[in-house]
């Protein structure tokens, strides 16, 4: 019997080393080497039509057929948007996110609505009864979805051979292990081996595979970095467990843009698509009274524009040190904007508490929201409301200038569609754009002082 050998693997890049080192010799990361047992791999059969028996030959690029295969449309239009139009046959997709964020729910409610193909759902974390309970809660029974609870890669391959599915779901890749390796499931070598075998099957059989992955406490996908290189697309499902909104982003996509964004709302019966996020992120005051400290900003997430409510509260500091509290916005950027407001506009806020909140629990990184933040803070400070039919967009520089922002025409169209009658934009941002088709009043400003005079006279 051969002795079991060990090797050291990097958690970051998957590089193998015969001995431990504090720094990975391949990627340079520190304290990422872990020890795993290894042994010579056994020869295992491959699924689908094998191409190992023939040698491929180089083909001129001009002779390669460019016929685009039809994509597999998923029931969720938001998921199709992020994927670039649907699932590509033979592709392998990785979906990651926080525990309990709704990854399995998103995948399950989509596959339960597909009636045109046989689907194999492999679960390594839940029992079949637990999945059935979730399917009953979603309320979409299906006869063509087969559930199997399995963690052995060899047994999964056997199930795939017997069922011949048109779509395979693996929940999750960190729970699958190959019998050819001695290491435990979720280790660097196991994740790399299982993902490579599944990728080979997907490419040879043109059957798409969706992998659900764990993430670490740092927010990165668990396992070696090579896992993200192996798959065709990496989708990140994010959101705050205390709020109902979920965002689906594409971190990597070989078949579409990584600028798309899908928005969902968590309900009792699963995830509901948010077609128009602007209408849900704006509060409606039934009494028609405008409140101070609230402004409407026009922001972009990917290539989608929507209106969002920026709330600010400024009050006299009750204690010696004033507080700065921020939700959904960069706290360092808010401190910079407060310094600009004090230096360029002359408002003293050093002895006052400032609280800032982005409505809906979203986290916004768009610099075009700078001007809306400044206007909300000043509105609360002087207790003068901003009209709820006025929206604001613009990036603020350190000298107090309002810098142009991208996709300004798309932002104006979104504000116009939501019934806004006035929008403040940076001066010079409309160069080369025909404004005759806009019915909304457009006010161009160049300095922070101009915006304050326009809103508060």
pLDDT of residue 53: 45
- Is the model's pLDDT at 3 over the cut of 70? no
182 is in an annotated binding site: no
Q: What is the mean pLDDT of the chain?
A: 86
Cα dist. 320→245, 338, 353 in Å? 37, 19, 10
Query: If you average pLDDT over residues 50-61, what whole number do you get?
Result: 67
> DSSP letter at 116?
S
Q: Which residues touch 127 (CB under 8 Å, ≥6 apart)?
A: 149
302 is in an annotated binding site: no
Radius of gyration of the chain (CA): 27
List the helix and strand counts (H, then E) for the chain: 11, 21
70, 74, 79, 72: which is closest to 235 by C-alpha? 79
The 10s digit of each residue's pLDDT in 234-258 is: 999 987 666 678 889 899 999 988 8
- Is the model's pLDDT at 377 over the cut of 90? yes
Give the Cα separation of 172 and 211 in Å (integer). 6
The 10s digit of each residue's pLDDT in 38-54 is: 655 554 444 554 444 45
97 is in an annotated binding site: yes
Cα dist. 23→9, 13, 172, 222, 320 in Å? 11, 12, 29, 19, 46
pLDDT of residue 173: 93
Beta strand spans in 303-396 (E): 304-316, 324-327, 352-358, 390-392, 395-396
Query: Is the overall model pTM greater than 0.85, yes or no?
Result: no
123 is in an annotated binding site: no
pLDDT of residue 2: 54
Q: Which residues touch 87 (CB under 8 Å, ≥6 apart)?
A: 71, 72, 74, 93, 167, 208, 210
pLDDT of residue 244: 78
Do 107 and 220 form a contact (C-beta atoms < 8 A)? no
352 is in an annotated binding site: no
The 10s digit of each residue's pLDDT in 415-443 is: 998 889 999 999 989 988 888 889 999 99
101 is in an annotated binding site: yes
pLDDT of residue 267: 86
387 is in an annotated binding site: no
Lowest-pLDDT range of 136-140, 157-161, 297-301: 136-140
The 10s digit of each residue's pLDDT in 70-106 is: 889 999 999 999 999 999 999 999 999 988 888 999 9
Residue 365's φ and ψ, nearest 5 degrees, are: -115, 5
Give the Cα separation of 448 and 457 in Å (integer). 13
Give the Cα separation of 58 and 257 in Å (integer). 29
- Is the model's pLDDT at 164 over the cut of 50? yes
99 is in an annotated binding site: yes
Give the Cα separation of 112 and 119 in Å (integer). 9
The 10s digit of each residue's pLDDT in 349-373 is: 888 999 999 987 788 889 999 999 9
Crossing angle, helix 188-205 and helix 153-163, to 10 degrees? Answer: 20
């Amino acid at each position: 019997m051969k002795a079991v050998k060990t090797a050291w693997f990097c958690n970051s890049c998957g590089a193998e080393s015969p001995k431990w080192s504090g720094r990975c010799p391949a990627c340079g990361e520190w304290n990422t080497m872990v020890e795993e047992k290894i042994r010579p791999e056994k020869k295992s059969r491959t699924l689908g039509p094998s191409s190992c028996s023939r040698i491929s030959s180089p083909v001129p690029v001009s002779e390669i057929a460019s016929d685009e295969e039809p994509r597999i449309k998923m029931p969720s239009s938001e998921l199709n948007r992020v994927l670039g139009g649907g699932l590509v046959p033979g592709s392998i997709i990785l979906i990651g996110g926080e525990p309990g964020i709704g990854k399995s729910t998103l995948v399950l409610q989509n596959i339960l609505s597909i009636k045109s193909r046989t689907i194999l759902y492999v679960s390594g974390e839940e029992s079949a009864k637990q999945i059935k309970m979730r399917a009953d809660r979603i309320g979409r029974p299906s006869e063509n979805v087969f559930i199997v609870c399995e963690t052995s890669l060899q047994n999964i391959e056997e199930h795939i051979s017997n069922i011949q599915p048109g779509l395979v779901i693996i929940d999750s890749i960190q729970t699958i292990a190959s019998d050819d390796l001695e290491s435990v499931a979720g280790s660097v070598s196991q994740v790399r081996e299982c993902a490579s075998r599944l990728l080979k099957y997907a490419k040879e059989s043109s059957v798409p595979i969706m992998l659900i992955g764990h993430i670490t406490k740092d927010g990165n996908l668990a396992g070696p970095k090579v896992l993200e290189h192996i798959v065709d697309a990496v989708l990140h499902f994010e959101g705050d467990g205390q709020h109902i909104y979920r965002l689906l982003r594409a971190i990597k996509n070989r078949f579409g843009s990584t600028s798309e964004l899908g928005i969902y709302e968590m309900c009792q019966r699963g995830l509901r698509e948010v077609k128009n996020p602007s209408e849900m992120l704006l509060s409606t005051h039934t009494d028609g009274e405008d409140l101070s400290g609230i402004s409407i900003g026009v922001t972009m997430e990917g290539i989608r524009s929507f209106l969002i409510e920026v709330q600010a509260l400024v009050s006299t500091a009750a204690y010696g040190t004033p507080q700065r509290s921020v939700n959904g916005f960069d706290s360092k950027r808010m401190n910079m904007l407060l310094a600009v407001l004090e230096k360029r506009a002359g408002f003293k806020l050093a002895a006052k508490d400032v609280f800032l909140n982005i409505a809906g629990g979203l986290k916004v990184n768009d610099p075009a929201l700078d001007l809306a933040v400044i206007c909300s803070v000043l509105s609360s400070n002087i207790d003068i409301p901003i009209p709820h039919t006025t929206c604001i967009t613009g990036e603020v520089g350190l000298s107090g200038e309002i810098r142009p922002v991208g996709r300004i025409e798309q932002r104006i169209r979104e504000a116009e569609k939501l019934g806004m009658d006035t929008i403040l934009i940076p001066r010079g941002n409309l160069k080369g754009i025909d404004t005759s088709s806009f019915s909304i009043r457009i006010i161009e400003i160049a300095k922070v002082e101009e915006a304050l005079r326009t809103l508060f006279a």
